[in-house]
């Protein structure tokens, strides 16, 4: 009888321990896939905005841009801030060239992007 009680207690302890170990594992979140619009925007930004062009001119700094994408797939800048006016103007000029393609749903959500331009450290 004592052996049966000991085995039952051991089995019960094992079940509780395994349950606690599984509960302690980190939660695995499913990665959110980008929409077609987000992928197109990434491609266009990578195509039109590049630091190496600026490196020759000595332009460094950060520019933060808030924008929406209109029905024609063009970026409408709501706000652009940065301490380097020439760099901010460069980013705004390049954003006018971005064409994501037709956006039949009208204005796409307000997005905020921080562009950081500085030379890579060796």
User: Splitting the chain (122 residues) into consecutive groups of 10 residues, what average pLDDT does each group show?
Assistant: 61 49 55 76 80 62 90 90 89 89 74 81 60
Per-residue confidence (pLDDT) for residue 70, from 0 to 100: 86
Architecture in CATH of 36-117: 2-Layer Sandwich (3.30)
Give the pLDDT confidence score for residue 16 in this predicted structure: 47
The pLDDT assigned to 79 comes to 95
Alpha-carbon distance 24 to 41, whole Å?
39
* Cβ-Cβ contacts under 8 Å for 80 (sequence gap 6 or more): 63, 64, 65, 66, 88, 91, 92
Q: What is residue 20's predicted lDDT score, i.e. its pLDDT?
A: 46
């Amino acid at each position: 009888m004592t052996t049966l009680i000991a085995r039952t207690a051991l089995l019960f302890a094992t079940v509780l321990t395994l349950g606690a170990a599984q509960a302690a594992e980190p939660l695995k979140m499913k990665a959110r896939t980008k929409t077609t619009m987000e992928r197109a925007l990434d491609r266009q930004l990578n195509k039109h905005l590049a630091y190496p062009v600026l490196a020759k001119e000595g332009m460094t700094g950060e520019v933060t841009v808030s924008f929406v994408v209109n029905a024609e797939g063009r970026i409408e800048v709501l706000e652009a801030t940065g301490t380097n006016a020439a760099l901010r103007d460069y980013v705004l000029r390049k954003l006018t060239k971005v064409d994501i393609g037709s956006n039949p749903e009208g204005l796409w959500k307000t997005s905020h992007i921080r562009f950081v331009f500085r030379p890579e450290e060796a």
